[in-house]
Amino acid sequence: MDIDKKIEIVKRNTAEIVKEEELRKILSEKEKPIVYCGYEPSGAMHLGHFVTVLKLKDFAKAGFHVKFLIADMHALLNRKGEEEKIKKDVEAWKKTIKSIGLDAEVVIGSDFQFDKKYVSDVMSVAQEVTINRGLRSMQQVARDIENATISQLWYPLMQVLDIKYLKCDVAYGGLEQRKIHMVGRDLKDKTGHNFIAVHTPLITSLKGPGQKMSKSIEGSGISVTDSDEVIKKTVKDAYCPEKTAEDNPILQISKLIIFPVVEKLRIKRPEKFGGDLEFENYSKLEEAYVNGDLHPLDLKNAVTDELIKIISPIRENFNK
């Protein structure tokens, strides 16, 4: 596969690459560059996570070695639960990753983050980052940012060092990770490690604009452990304004989760409403929706069917 094709695959559904010329350089110099994405094991994996997981599959297709960090210590620092709960979540996430079939090296944060040199490096980096910048970097990541604790300021410093210690050429995540990644790039001379940052959009809460998708809020998201009935009800009740693409989570799911998996999306409709529709790509789907040729309920029904197809085998393997 040539470099242009690899870049095309990596760029699909991304919000930005910092910087694309650096990505091209890495791909020209390394046969198998390293990309990582980190996840706090807090409850079951949900659709918001699926965006990044599917993108990691793109990276693997483009020839990257994928490292999947289960960031147990980050979850603890970010007040996502006590140690015993987080340990159980780590095991659940391992099963989920296996069920998804992602070709990745799974790394547990606590396996390397207590190393004396790592801790020393975190302390060294801490001297270079102001409290204000640390807080800004955690605005979309921290739990209860208005009452942020010192542990949550330790979090971004560790993330910067994770990228170095995992020897990553690319740090990947949703846009909520951007400010942390920029701290890491700005500190490249201090850490002795530079990297490319790749970000994908965030899915709006199924309850509507103003927050990202989260399973901690009822009706906001869908997890891999949800039953078919729960998926149907959650999508049926989801925010999906007619003829509007902006902040529309059902269209976002179609673009970022459904179309990376299916070649075509079939919309089943009775003949009296025009009969079935079929879309080969997201742009045609969005055009039809915005023009009023596709009703929200018909879109929701199709998305529900596809989500059940994606989630059911994962749920089945997860429960074994």
Q: Is the pLDDT of residue 205 over 80?
A: yes
* Count of helix runs (H) and strand runs (E) in the chain: 14, 8
Considering the domain 3-200 in this protein, what is its CATH number? Answer: 3.40.50.620
Phi first, then psi: give them for residue 144, nearest 5 degrees. Answer: 55, 60
Q: Which CATH superfamily is domain 228-318 in?
A: Tyrosyl-Transfer RNA Synthetase (1.10.240.10)
C-alpha to C-alpha distance for 123 and 142, rounded to whole angstroms: 20
Spatial distance between the Cα atoms of 291 and 195, rounded to a whole number of angstroms: 42
- Region 254-273: mean pLDDT is 94
Checking if the pLDDT of 320 tops 70, the result is no
Q: How confident is the model at residue 17 (pLDDT cuts 50, 70, 90)?
A: very high
Cis peptide before 19 (omega within 30 of 0): yes
**Amino acid identity, position 52:** T
Asked whether the beta carbons of 6 and 27 are under 8 A apart, the reply is yes
Round to whole Å and give the CA distance between 275 and 269: 5
Distance CA 97, CA 102 (A): 6
Q: How far apart are CA 67 and CA 61, in angstroms?
A: 14
Please state the rounded mean pLDDT for residues 211-220: 72
- The amino acid that residue 107 corresponds to is V
Structure tokens belonging to residue 209: 């604009």
Mean pLDDT for the stretch of residues 276-302 = 97
69: its two tokens: 């960090």
Structure tokens at 264: 């075509």
Select from 71, 158, 171, 163 the least CA-distant residue to 121: 158
DSSP-assigned letter for residue 110: G
pLDDT at 232 over 90: yes
Rounded distance, CA 147 to CA 81, Å? 16
**pLDDT tens readout for residues 162-185:** 999 999 999 999 999 999 999 999
CA atoms within 13 A on the CB side of 118: 17
- Check residue 215 and give its pLDDT: 66
Give the pLDDT score at 246. 95
List C-alpha distances in Å: 127 to 78, 110, 187.
Answer: 21, 23, 11
| Domain residue spans of the chain | 3-200, 228-318
DSSP codes joined into one string, 28-49: HH-SS-EEEEEE---SS-BHHH
Which single residue is written with the structure tokens 């009969």? 275
Share of the chain above pLDDT 70, in %: 98
CB 257 within 8 A of CB 310: yes
**R_g of the chain, CA atoms, integer Å:** 20
Q: Name 298's Cβ contacts closer than 8 Å, sequence gap at least 6.
A: 267, 268, 269, 273, 277
Q: How far apart are CA 195 and CA 214, in angstroms?
A: 29
pLDDT of residue 217: 73
CA–CA dist 23, 91 (Å, integer): 33
Mean pLDDT across the stretch 204-211?
89
Structure confidence by residue, pLDDT tens digits, 55-103: 999 999 999 999 999 999 999 999 999 999 999 999 999 988 888 888 9
